[in-house]
Structure 1
């Protein structure tokens, strides 16, 4: 029976300021606004239903929701929410989603755009060192958005060793 799963449609990110986050994604990754599901001060959202649907902490209010299109790959849905007991972004060692990776063709340009948009890089690009990922030019580095989400910049222009062992392939834009 064929799978009903095609791939990742979008990722959702809660941000403290949707305008700042949108500007970051536009400047850092050439993202474009597709549409606004909820705009600030709109009344087109049922907060009680959203609290139940998303299992939000009681009293949390969604101020805005916006869908962005990346040049390639899944969309990015930004949520600006405010409420009691709102936590800080997860660290890589915390349970749950820890980062998202953006495939880049030019690390220098990508890092320049990322930092100019307000992001902070943790490292310079370094070779992918896991045995099944090694290859000429295969590299990665990590950084952080202005609101604290972790982003990996990655590129693998060379075939990876795992490709000799299976017909399955990582998705590549």
Structure 2
């Protein structure tokens, strides 16, 4: 086995929404997102059928109608899908599997205000982070998107705490240039 057989990092995270245009407006207005490209538009035939269901693990009868790649600052992109067929409610923090995305914010109160103005619902006030993120100036708050997805806004300006048993440091955005 060669060393390049290991993944290099998270490239994107997939999100399914009930309305791609409304979700895009929420991400743009609330998080300053930018559209990278549309992988599947209203003018394209839907991706559906037994082969697509098999390849993507979709339930029988599901169809992908639209697909868009969205960029929010640095880090992985969001691949946003509009899919018809059998669906469940958005996962919560206690559900097994992917349950939220977290976004680093330099201005946590301002970011929260902007995301709520775009249609999100804050689950609480800004509060302290967990043990390894509990450094001066830290803060975190969960916000529910209009379709139920959880988004965590957080700031850790003094960085993380790492114990002697840490094997790696978590990704952080590049420092902003002062100008």
- TM normalised by structure 1 equals 0.91
How far apart in 1 are the matches of 2:57 and 2:166? 39
Counterparts in 2 of 1:129 and 1:160: CA distance versus 1, 3 Å: same
1:41, 1:63 within 8 Å by CA — same for their partners in 2? Answer: no
1:35 positional shift: 0.8
Where do residues 31-50 of structure 1 align in structure 2 (5 Å cutoff)? Answer: 31-43=33-45, 45-50=47-52
1:165 positional shift: 5.6
Which 5+ residue runs of structure 2 have no aligned equivalent? Answer: 174-179
Alignment correspondent of 2:100 = 99
1:116 positional shift: 1.2
1:74 aligns with 2:53: no
Alignment correspondent of 1:136 = 136
1:151 positional shift: 0.7
Residues 57-66 or 46-55, more deviating: 46-55
Alignment correspondent of 1:145 = 145
3-state SS in 2 of match to 1:115: helix
1:50 positional shift: 2.0
Counterparts in 2 of 1:46 and 1:88: CA distance versus 1, 3 Å: closer
Alignment correspondent of 2:177 = none
2:45, 2:65 within 8 Å by CA — same for their partners in 1? Answer: no
How far apart in 1 are the matches of 2:165 and 2:138? 18
How far apart in 2 are the matches of 1:12 and 1:125? 26
Residues 87-96 or 42-51, more deviating: 42-51
How far apart in 1 are the matches of 2:64 and 2:46? 11
Counterparts in 2 of 1:52 and 1:134: CA distance versus 1, 3 Å: same
Q: CA RMSD in A?
A: 1.8
Counterparts in 2 of 1:92 and 1:44: CA distance versus 1, 3 Å: closer
How far apart in 2 are the matches of 1:167 and 1:52? 37
Counterparts in 2 of 1:164 and 1:135: CA distance versus 1, 3 Å: farther
1:139 positional shift: 1.4
Residues 40-49 or 86-95, more deviating: 40-49
How far apart in 2 are the matches of 1:100 and 1:14? 13
1:49 positional shift: 2.7
